[in-house]
Structure 1
């Protein structure tokens, strides 16, 4: 194990801000862990999303990844270089991410149903939005903002990106297919964002297509602009690093500033909750503040431990995930779908593994978690082989 850790750290380029790679690795590892339980019927509360208003640790994972996207946009330019003009490099990256999201949307076949129509279910009813699609759109949108605006303008943009969608949800009336008119509703299946999703994308192309009175997508159009504010807050955290000095005192001051900003955002978002509900699906302003606050605190903690104190050994395995985050997400998505596609008796391969191995050994909830941990361990072996061969999948 000691040699394994040393092999990981020996490949880290000198001068690289390791804490950001670790933060990305933490986000993607957590995302894979919560997306692959042995059974969705047995999931511990912290590893499930809040049912509607409120938040759990799982609700922080996607915003954390977007926060790191913003950080990485700054770090990729280095301290002394200007941001590049948006061109084919940014567009191709966004298009590839969007295409990978669409691939996962169609990568499924129900072999257990003789009447199943893949063309009708997966192609004609394709879900246009999703995690990777949102990352693609947010990245491209923020690339333009970062090139056009300086820090004060980015602060204003971050506020507007979360405030304008929220005001639209509160004050713009909308009408359902049944002719009912609503305004300011913030309930499951009934809010302005749902109406916009259904109008622009169609009910058959949304994640919650059976929701009443309006189908909607948790990665919908309007809330993608709100999600861009999370990415921009990551950009601002990166700019603080970009404009800081490199001496030890300055780096400690930067760590303190990230901690203070994170603490203030977390507390403010929580205090707003009675009036502005914390809600991931709506990506509300309070949700932006809470999740960005947690992200900034995690960044400050890792930066202090890894980049300042150089306590790297305990965190090294996260680096294997962090430098190949999209490859891990795709691997987990493909394998996860294959496990529920392959029939075994009257269940699926995933159901068979859970019921015959993990559930008898560990019980319902612990067995479901053990399945997720085992899956992550298998994925780690693949990611480690890529890492040691210096295969880094960049989109």
Structure 2
């Protein structure tokens, strides 16, 4: 790939570092086809495969692996893009009512697309609202409206969302000592993940969000009554997810204000403050860091990590001018919706096509234990080629 292609083919008005960061996020999501967890079972004594497996799966409850950063990063980058989008529309003279109407329509489409993707293998429409696209859609219009207020009010909204959400959970009754966790899908071996004392407000499927979903999700047609989400995921997580978008909104605002420089110090300072605050809340038991229910401390912690990622990409690409290095990721990042759909809709078709047309003898060329990785690499290659074709032909899926 020549320098000319890598730098000139990418529209220069875009922030390439942001596109590359988004590309990494989507690549991590599409990379689930590599099946590291399955391969690690064939090498139980291998630290290498154990690390890869850990970072391609979600942690059980507290803490974080690399895979846990996909959703907050995607959400954060939606916020980063908002000031750029607003500036572009205002330059075109687009009236507020039209922008608001498009935003509401986009929010609806994101929610609908999330429900559609969750319903692929269901007998009827699976009305569930914890999907990444659905969570973003539920908060997107509010984030858009907040782009029109002063930064001070944006930060007040950010703090108000997190404090109010934390307070609501803190006031909800803690499960009784004899609470039947098995009845809400919590396995017997889960006891090591249960919190005690005040932190018990954030235990799996025995919290405010669970109570809300038992009421809310049963308002929709279902094949059987909703009792719990096996992973502990919740509809109400869109509220602190909105706060993650507001962190991205601040990052986007700083990028525009500092252009053509990069506000690395602001990014790193923000990361330090957010990470420190999250760890203090977690270790004092005030609010544990739990991604699956998007606790306020998780919003702070993951937001700090997002700022570090953005700082790293900005330093490598904008400061050190390594745009050629970013090109493979930019191809993915500029078509994130297409990449998202590929990961959810194309996997079975692509993998079965390789099995039929190449045969297992070729797929097992590195041994049966590594067959999932080899097949996954072939599948990822097909995804990237499709996205590259779309990039070259300027075909970008937008909502």
Q: TM-score under structure 1 normalisation?
A: 0.80
Q: Specify the SS of the correspondent of 1:361.
A: coil
Q: Specify the SS of the correspondent of 1:392.
A: coil
- Select which of 233, 236, 254 maps to 1:240: 254
Tell me, in whole angstroms, the C-alpha distance in 2 between the residues paired with 1:353 and 1:49.
32
Query: Shift in Å at residue 389 of structure 1?
Result: 0.6
Tell me, in whole angstroms, the C-alpha distance in 1 between the residues paired with 2:367 and 2:219.
40
- Matched with 1:189 is 205
Q: Specify the SS of the correspondent of 1:93.
A: helix
Report if the CA contact (8 A) 2:103-2:141 is conserved.
Answer: yes
Query: Shift in Å at residue 87 of structure 1?
Result: 1.9
Give structure 1 stretches of 5+ with no counterpart. 109-120
Query: Shift in Å at residue 28 of structure 1?
Result: 1.2
2:273 maps to 1:264: yes
Query: Shift in Å at residue 219 of structure 1?
Result: 5.0
Give structure 2 stretches of 5+ with no counterpart. 41-52, 182-197
Report if the CA contact (8 A) 1:321-1:380 is conserved.
Answer: yes
- Select which of 52, 64, 72 maps to 2:73: 64
Cα distance change, pair 358–167 in 1 and its aligned pair in 2 (3 A): farther
- Matched with 1:333 is 344
Q: Specify the SS of the correspondent of 1:77.
A: helix
- Per-residue CA deviation, residues 354-393 of structure 1 (Å, 9 max, x unaligned), is 98765673554x5444443332221001000000011111
Tell me, in whole angstroms, the C-alpha distance in 2 between the residues paired with 1:25 and 1:6.
20
Tell me, in whole angstroms, the C-alpha distance in 2 between the residues paired with 1:332 and 1:140.
26
- Select which of 372, 382, 388 maps to 2:376: 372
Aligned pairs, number: 362
2:89 maps to 1:76: no
Query: Shift in Å at residue 290 of structure 1?
Result: 1.6
Cα distance change, pair 299–79 in 1 and its aligned pair in 2 (3 A): farther
- Per-residue CA deviation, residues 248-284 of structure 1 (Å, 9 max, x unaligned), is xxx25x1121122113322332343222211111111
Tell me, in whole angstroms, the C-alpha distance in 2 between the residues paired with 1:104 and 1:80.
30
- Matched with 1:154 is 154
Tell me, in whole angstroms, the C-alpha distance in 1 between the residues paired with 2:359 and 2:244.
36
Report if the CA contact (8 A) 2:129-2:135 is conserved.
Answer: no
In the TM superposition, what are the counterparts of 1:182-261 in structure 2 within 5 Å? 184-202=200-218, 214-215=228-229, 219-244=233-258, 246=260, 251-252=261-262, 254-261=263-270
Query: Shift in Å at residue 245 of structure 1?
Result: 5.4
Query: Shift in Å at residue 233 of structure 1?
Result: 0.3
Report if the CA contact (8 A) 1:255-1:304 is conserved.
Answer: yes
Tell me, in whole angstroms, the C-alpha distance in 2 between the residues paired with 1:154 and 1:12.
32
RMSD: 3.6
2:291 maps to 1:286: no
Report if the CA contact (8 A) 1:227-1:283 is conserved.
Answer: yes
Tell me, in whole angstroms, the C-alpha distance in 2 between the residues paired with 1:339 and 1:301.
33
Q: Specify the SS of the correspondent of 2:346.
A: helix
Report if the CA contact (8 A) 1:38-1:351 is conserved.
Answer: no
Report if the CA contact (8 A) 1:174-1:192 is conserved.
Answer: no
- Per-residue CA deviation, residues 22-51 of structure 1 (Å, 9 max, x unaligned), is 1111111112213x3448645611111111
Report if the CA contact (8 A) 1:193-1:216 is conserved.
Answer: no
2:383 maps to 1:390: no
Tell me, in whole angstroms, the C-alpha distance in 1 between the residues paired with 2:165 and 2:364.
44
Report if the CA contact (8 A) 1:195-1:216 is conserved.
Answer: no
Cα distance change, pair 179–280 in 1 and its aligned pair in 2 (3 A): closer
Report if the CA contact (8 A) 1:185-1:191 is conserved.
Answer: yes
